[in-house]
Structures are given as C-alpha cells and as structure tokens.
C-alpha cells in the first residue's frame, strides 16, 4: 500500500461523500492534498526562517509553493489519468474504508492546519 495514494484515496472519497454534487471529486481531492502539503512545507520554512521569513514575501512564496506542489501532484496523480487507476484499485482492495484510517487522515489534516497557525503566531510574535 502506498501511503500517499491511500491518503489521496481517502480524501477523494470523503469529498465524494460530503458533496455529492461535486462531479470531479478526484480533482478536489488532489487540491486538498496539495493544500495540506503546502501547509506542511510553509510551516517548516517559516519556522526555520523565523524573522527573515516575515521580511520576505510570504504570500508570494506560499502561492509559488502551492503551484509547485500542484505541478508535482499533477505528474504523480493526474497525468495519464492515474487517479482513476488509484481509485479503482483501492476501491477493490479497501472497500469499505477502515474508520481508523479515515480518522488518521482527518487528524493529519486538522493538525497540519493547527500547527501552521501555531507556528505563524510564534513567527509573527518573533519569539523564535
């Protein structure tokens, strides 16, 4: 089992379940995964950069990083419609999805967001 693919699979299935009108839930799942990875990388860069990160253009860096992650995910998940293969494979292997795995991915998403806010507060207050 590829953890990256499985995380994407769980996110895509969650989007499909939460918003039944979303006809392209696979793409929405990829965008959520991009956002989570960008949060993680920006959190690390801002923590390491500290005060120097504040004096740069953090919005520009964050936007550029999100685009970069999106391009990488395009090649990993979207190119040659790989997402369809991933979803059909994991549907066959892991249906129904283990609730603990869903909880783990939800915890990852919430903690990514919470830690990024916490680090942003520390950096903004310049306590590093």
Percent of the chain having pLDDT more than 70? 93
Collapsing DSSP states into helix, strand and coil, what is residue 98? coil
Query: Two tokens at 8?
Result: 């994407």
HEC assignment per residue over 36-72: HHHHHHHHHHHHHHCHHHHCCCHHHHHHHHHHHHHHH
Per the CB < 8 A criterion, the answer to whether 86 and 11 are in contact is no
Number of Cα atoms under 13 Å in the Cβ half of residue 112: 17
The answer to whether 97 and 10 have CB atoms below 8 angstroms apart is yes
pLDDT of residue 127: 53
Q: Taking the domains of the chain in order of start, what are their residue ranges?
A: 3-124
User: Over 90: is that where the pLDDT of 110 sits?
Assistant: yes
Each residue of 40-83: pLDDT tens digit?
988 888 788 776 766 677 677 778 888 899 899 889 988 888 98
Residue 84 is encoded by which pair of tokens? Answer: 């369809």
Range with lowest mean pLDDT among 17-31, 45-59, 79-93, 104-118: 45-59
pTM for the whole structure: 0.80
């Amino acid at each position: 089992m590829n953890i990256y693919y499985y995380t994407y699979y769980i996110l895509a299935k969650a989007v499909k379940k939460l918003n039944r009108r979303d006809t392209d839930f696979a793409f929405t799942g990829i965008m959520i995964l991009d956002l989570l990875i960008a949060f993680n990388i920006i959190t690390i860069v801002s923590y390491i950069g500290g005060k120097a990160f504040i004096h740069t253009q953090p919005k520009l860096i964050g936007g550029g990083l999100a685009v970069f992650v999106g391009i990488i995910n395009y090649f990993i998940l979207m190119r040659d419609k790989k997402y369809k293969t991933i979803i059909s494979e994991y549907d066959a292997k892991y249906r129904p999805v283990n609730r603990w795995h869903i909880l783990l991915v939800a915890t990852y998403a919430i903690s990514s967001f919470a830690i990024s806010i916490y680090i942003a507060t520390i950096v903004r207050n310049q306590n590093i």
